[in-house]
Amino acid sequence: MRRFRLGAQLLGAWLLLAAGILGLITLKTAGAQHRHPNLRLEAPLSTHLASTEAAAWRAFPNYTDAVPVLCYHGVGALPASSQLNVSRTLFAQTMLALHIGGFHTLTLRQYVAWYSAWRSGGSYHLPTKPILLTFDDGRSDSYRAVDMTLRRYKFHAVEFVVPGWVRAHPAWELQWTTMRSMDSSGVWTVQEHFGYGKETVSYRRYGTRGGRFGYLSWLGGLRRGHLESLRLFLKDFHANMDWGVAQLRTHLPDYRVLAMAMPASDQGQTTNTATIEPHVVSWLDAHYPVVFTGDYLYGGPTGTVLPYRLSKQLVFRLAMKSQLSVPTLLCRLKDYAAGAPPSKEYQCPGLESRHRGQRRTPQTISTTKTVNPTAPIAPPAAMRRHGTRADTVANVPQAQE
The pLDDT tens digits for 371-385 are 333 333 333 333 344
Amino acid occupying residue 126: L
Domains of the chain by start residue, with CATH? 27-196+254-371 (3.20.20.370)
Burial 281-292 (b: 16+ CB within 10 A, else e): bebbbebbbbbb
pTM of the model: 0.80
Q: What is the mean pLDDT of the chain?
A: 81
Confidence of residue 351 (pLDDT cuts 50, 70, 90): confident
Q: Which of 179, 189, 178 is nearest to 155 (CA)?
A: 189
Q: Determine which helix (DSSP H) or strand (DSSP E) holds 70, and give its type and residue range.
A: strand 69-72
Q: Has residue 167 got a pLDDT over 90?
A: yes
The pLDDT tens digits for 19-69 are 554 444 333 333 333 344 446 899 999 999 999 999 999 999 999 999 999
Beta strand 69-72 with 315-319 is parallel
Confidence of residue 287 (pLDDT cuts 50, 70, 90): very high
Q: Determine which helix (DSSP H) or strand (DSSP E) holds 331, and give its type and residue range.
A: helix 326-338
The pLDDT tens digits for 170-203 are 999 999 999 999 999 999 999 999 999 998 888 8
Stretch among 30-34, 114-118, 234-238 having the lowest mean pLDDT: 30-34
3-state secondary structure of 25: helix
Confidence of residue 354 (pLDDT cuts 50, 70, 90): low
Average pLDDT over residues 238-246: 98
Average pLDDT over residues 382-389: 42
Residues 107, 189: contact at Cβ < 8 Å? yes
Q: Has residue 259 got a pLDDT over 50?
A: yes
Q: How far apart are CA 368 and CA 375, in angstroms?
A: 10
Alpha helix locations (H) across 36-174? 51-58, 88-100, 108-119, 140-152, 165-168
